[in-house]
Structure 1
């Protein structure tokens, strides 16, 4: 004879199944066999009313030990991974049967797999991001070094310009002295011919020096312009590097947060599918 408690559970079992937020398999048994079985589309173990309790099953264990049993069943048993709960039904101090429920863990398993894949991907991205940040810092440091070198080069060019100006002054004075010497040689007549030749050579040397000084100045001006361009571009590169480094650090922080969230997601999936 079926107990009143079992009758009550048998009446409410199909209602309970519809009341659950997610698909839940429900089974009701007495101490020996199934009295009712309500599968779901995603979880059907092929149990029929009247099937005996299998030794060691959730239902048999709950009945034999008079305690709630939670067990995760692997895919290898029925082809569907699920979590089952067996709850003993006690009437007048005696176990009269069991109410069992089950839900699939496909979603949890997929969620866990996705979380693990996401964690691995984020780990790889974080490593690359950290490497990029280090390279950006090194590029910024190199740009700063090159910028300092460009400044030093500008100073050296300025010093060279001073020397070239000195050469130009010497050339100008030599030209004046050569011209005076030519005039004096002309006044001396025949006696000053030899001196006149020397004076003319001094003037030629002065003109050549003056021309060379002009070329040096032109080259130095061009070099100074180029150094200015290089210095300007290096400053831009350095600013870009610093900006890039800052952005990479921000990206790295975001990646760390995403990795933390992925770990929490994985833990939630593990806890959701953990048996007691």
Structure 2
């Protein structure tokens, strides 16, 4: 047996303990395994004396005299791992192979979590964006309603002025009617017909006055209600604006988290497994 191969067989178990992560180590000659040290989480069932499988990293490294790196999927041995086969050269000839392997189960689990997190954050970001748009629409609608309530208050104030004018006219009509009655009484029989007209004027004046009072009362109640609505709309508008701002801030945070998840997914991916 090659002296270099014997030396590697001696230090192989020491090399296994020197790795930072749990690592399996195998040593072969050109045909079979001379030593195999499985890792706690990675045991391929290899035994000393097992022949090299055609196409395996050990067989390829021996046959081609080059370093071979492969990522093995979970479907092969039930455990995902990365294996490295390094040809042992002595006297310009390949005399064997030193192979190592570490499990990628934690990496794959991390990548899966990152992918799920990215998907979940993407969905949340879409819903948050939709909520932000709806909050903006609500703020705009509240602003419009607040302006409308202010316009209603202005129109009611104008109507109140007209009602005051009606009350003034009613009062003056009542005075005129009363004077007409007095004049008709002085005229005696000649003013009898005029007296009937004067009474009708007074009656119309009183009716108008009563109606004006009712209208004024209703307008006053409407004005109070509009005031309440206006105040509530103002509070709703302020709340909508604040909500829109908070949702925008939340959306920005979700975007940052999404970017971080993408970076995590990229970091979890294996990029250095090249031959």
Distance 1:122 1:16 in 2: 43
Q: What RMSD, in angstroms, separates the aligned Cα atoms of the two structures?
A: 1.6
Name the residue aligned to 2:2: 2
Q: Conserved in 1, the CA contact under 8 Å of 2:69 and 2:273?
A: no
Q: Give 1:122-271 correspondences, 5 Å limit.
A: 122-271=121-270
List, as ranges, runs of 4+ consecutive aligned residues in structure 1 with deviation greater than 4 Å.
Answer: 272-276
Q: Give 1:28-177 correspondences, 5 Å limit.
A: 28-177=27-176
| 129-138 vs 12-21, which moves further | 12-21
How does the TM-score come out when normalised to structure 2?
0.94
Distance 1:172 1:11 in 2: 124
Change (3 A) 1:107 1:275: farther
3-state SS of 1:199 partner: helix
Structure 1 residues not aligned, in runs of 5+: none
3-state SS of 2:41 partner: coil
Distance 2:14 2:227 in 1: 84
Report how many aligned residue pairs link the two structures. 275
Q: Conserved in 1, the CA contact under 8 Å of 2:23 and 2:38?
A: yes
3-state SS of 1:85 partner: strand
Q: Conserved in 2, the CA contact under 8 Å of 1:72 and 1:275?
A: no
Distance 2:45 2:212 in 1: 104
How does the TM-score come out when normalised to structure 1?
0.94
Distance 1:238 1:274 in 2: 58
Q: Conserved in 2, the CA contact under 8 Å of 1:73 and 1:84?
A: yes
Q: Conserved in 1, the CA contact under 8 Å of 2:23 and 2:100?
A: yes
Deviation at 1:27, TM superposition (A): 0.8
Structure 2 residues not aligned, in runs of 5+: none
Distance 1:33 1:118 in 2: 45
Distance 1:234 1:138 in 2: 14
Q: Conserved in 2, the CA contact under 8 Å of 1:136 and 1:241?
A: yes
Change (3 A) 1:56 1:64: same
